[in-house]
Chains A and B, each alone.
Chain A
Amino acid sequence: MNSADEISQIAEDLSSITGPEYSRRGINDITVSPADTRQIASVLDFAYKKRLAVSAQGGETKQGWGQGVRPSIYISLARLNRIIEHPWQDLTCTVQAGCTWSSLQRTLMLHRQFVALDPLFEDRATVGGVLATNDSGALRHRYGSLRDLVIGMTLVLPDGTIAKTGGKVVKNVAGYDLCKLMTGSFGTLAIITEANFRLHPIPQHIRDFSIAASHASDFAPLLAMIRASHLLTQSLQIRRSDSGFHLDVRLNAHPESHHDGILSQMTRDEGFVLEEAPESIWKAREILFAPDAIVLRIATLPVDVCEYADKLQLLRPVIQVQSISQANGLHEVALRGSSNEIEAIIRQLRADATHPHTTISVLQQNRDIEVVAFDISSPVLSLMKAVKDQFDPNCILNPGKFFAEA
């Protein structure tokens, strides 16, 4: 922690980079809003030499994700909010990292295209923040995650180096694909200032359905059948509400393919009722991420999804549990209760994860709880640390965010 005098001095130095109107002093920290990539490089170069902790800031929807110490400097990407180009016939776009997700999508929609990803809080979340946290929603079932959608980036390294990686074309294997490394690195390696995406045409046909049951396991045979079928499913999730479990399905097929009829028949054969559902079911994820909840991301094998969703409910009534599970095996689980109870539950879940493939991460924690956020095994953790050391030897970018002891 820096003294008040030090903070004042830092604030003065930073305002000479961004101009005083774009440098705001808080009690223990300073927030700067650089105009462009170059100014971000200057701020980082300054922080690197002084060994001051820095966090990049977008829409502040996921600042509580992962652990970490409070930085001295917040670099706001708010002024880097332009969509630079959308060569729609090439199905690509270039956008600055501070642009909100929804404003990007609105522009792309003019040509019936989109980045095929539905992250949380699209009106506030920025491109950079979504990339740094590798957020994804129900669209992942059909289109994959960000790693399949980002084709290029402009980065600023902690020492102020500006580097580009990837490019503007969809197919490109020249050199290491650092986009992959940056996506989901929680701002610990570099600050992303610009990104190039590959785009998809917006599906012309969309129908949403929901099926209700009291236990998620009841869905297991039906879910397996849908996954093995030829149905054009865009999204497939198991959602827990107060009234029990729901299997939500979005179909993309042309009406003449009669996929709704096929799905309806499959559902009936399994003894369930298929009902039309409102579009809002795909936004249910956002309820999990209310600021007071601790949110876990748990990954299981696809075949274990239903059973695991049921298992999560056994944690009640000690603490409150809400969950949404994607058919691919990704569960997001909101926990509410005392810190002690939640810590005990996370430890218990990790101890119970006898299946070697199950991983349990603490994604959102807006208050301190004493468990490791990311449970990474030791040989690969050392390799990750070696990468971190190469990119950020002074450890100024989000210290403690990935590596608890850093």
Chain B
Amino acid sequence: MHTLLTSDIVSELRRIVGEKGLITAPNQLQTYECDGLTAFRVPPAAVLLPESTEQVQNILRLCHREKIAFVARGAGTGLSGGALPAEGSIVIGLSRMNRILNIDIPNQQITVQPGVINANVTAAVAPDGYFYAPDPSSQTVCSIGGNIAENAGGAHCLKYGFTVTHVLEMTVVLPNGELVTLGGKVPSAAGYDLAGVFIGSEGTLGVATEMTLRIMRKPETVQVILAAFNSISAAAQSVSDVIASSQLPAAMEIMDRLSIEAAEISVHPNYPACEALLLIELDGPEAEVNLQMATVIEICKNNGAWETRLAIDDNARFLVWKGRKAAFAAAGRLSPNYIVQDGVIPRTSLPAVLEQLNAMAAADHLRVTNVFHAGDGNLHPIVLYNRDNPGEEERAINLSLRILDVCVEAGGSITGEHGVGREKQCSMSYMFSDPDLETMQRVRRAFDPFNLANPDKLFPTPRLCGERSRGAYAPHPVEASGIAEVF
């Protein structure tokens, strides 16, 4: 499809955002042709960088009138292609809307614009002893708007929940340009919980331009234990035993040998060299944490941990987490190219599923390294490959998608925090039946009857998924507006 942007439309867009807010030069558009999932690239017709809710409204009104598809973009760190432009679409980059608007400590709330970086929210309230709980690994660069689109998680959502748990209210521009307030600064807004549906809708229901977030009291004490095991199974069993002992740690993470090595080369966290490293973080009142930690250490030792290392002070903890959070980037030290997957399985099926994954990787002559949010069964297998070897990228993509099938077969999900985006939309019909997907489409049609907001994402389409697609069909904007027909 060719771009629908006539010179009149471009001038109108320029009037909305000003000269500095409009990008049309092909070399500059390149920056926006993909997000963190670099295997997929589509150049946008134009990029707009609005500075206010009103500008976003005006852009969407124009898109609505001209039936132009739009893709909202935060920091572009997403790993599922959620911010990948649709063909002929414009991209609305929200990086200039990066102000913290209000900090309300007594009510434990903060109001920000979507371009604010995740870590800056915590930084803004840390002097008062508070923090913002969702902490995706990319938290130093990813933005709150993107976090809302993807319902971002992180290592600590085992205890603290996901982005959806922490967003109280949002100002949202609907695909027709109308402004609505979803949720509320007070609990239990009347009517349907549209905020709950919007969060995690991957930019397919509108654009959030202002959000009030819940902030939490920083725990009195935080302690992290590193435990080294000879097998992933032993580490996984420790996780189950901790759960069975009625404790809810702030985080429980497992890294395998390859990812430990990569982290070591990359940021030198001084991890013990072992088959499986279990990292458990406990937080809360000091006396409580001390008692719980004693139990946790005993559980690890009973399961064969040959080294346990306790990190209590800020520096030691920072180093432990630095290694874990660098795991994805560190994969670059192991291989020129890699795909990070994001499957979820019931925690108890971890050993069996891992065995299956290893066998699949071996059969395909590919290396897969693993880091998991073990507490909630969220796996991040990293498929390593070299794009220069003919056919290897296809094999790697194929393997990474078959890993998701295994997760679904184990009773889990194709994505725990990265989103479906472009990457996994064909896997949606493996996880959900036709009626399930059609039911979701009802929500989409209520918000976006012309399918303009991030089209061709999240749901399987016949064009992209071929016969595997059993999903509901939504007309392309060009088709809906009568410009083209489907043959």
Contacts and interface: CB of A to CB of B under 8 A. Distances in A.
A133 to B, nearest CB: 11
Interface stretch (A209-217, A255-263, A334-342): A255-263
A interface bracket (residues with beta carbon within 8 Å of B): 35 or more
Interface string A369-383: 000001111011101
A173 B423 CA distance: 14
Interface residues on B, range: 35 or more
A26 B483 CA distance: 56
B431 A174 contact: yes
Contacts of A390: 442-443, 445-446
A171 B196 contact: no
Given A167-B412, A171-B344, A89 B161 contact: no
B416 A173 contact: yes
A178 B217 CA distance: 30
B106 A303 contact: yes
Contacts of B246: 112, 201-202, 204
Given A175-B458, A390-B443, A361 B190 contact: yes
Contacts, number: 251
Interface string B432-466: 11011111101111110000000000100000000
B378 A90 contact: no
B181 interface: yes
Contacts of B440: 165, 175-176, 178
A157 B436 CA distance: 11
A281 interface: no
Interface stretch (B149-157, B319-327, B355-363): B149-157
A23 B214 CA distance: 48
Interface stretch (B43-51, B300-308, B345-353, B386-394): B345-353
A161 interface: yes
Nearest to A189: B192
Nearest to B130: A228
A231 B436 CA distance: 43
A174 B415 contact: yes
A165 B436 contact: yes
B346 A90 contact: yes
Interface in A218-232: 224, 227-232
A1 interface: no
B470 to A, nearest CB: 14
Contact of A380 (B182, B186, B411, B412): B182
Interface of B: 106-108, 129, 150-151, 153, 157, 161-162, 164-165, 174, 178-182, 184-197, 199-201, 217, 219-220, 240, 243-244, 246-248, 284-288, 291, 344-348, 373, 376-378, 411-420, 424, 428, 431-433, 435-440, 442-447, 458
20 contacts: A91-B243, A147-B164, A147-B193, A147-B196, A148-B165, A165-B439, A169-B345, A172-B412, A173-B418, A174-B414, A175-B420, A180-B164, A232-B288, A254-B287, A328-B187, A330-B188, A377-B181, A386-B446, A390-B443, A391-B442
Q: A-B pairs with the 10 shortest C-beta distances?
A: A180-B196, A201-B246, A299-B186, A390-B442, A386-B446, A172-B413, A171-B416, A163-B439, A257-B287, A374-B190
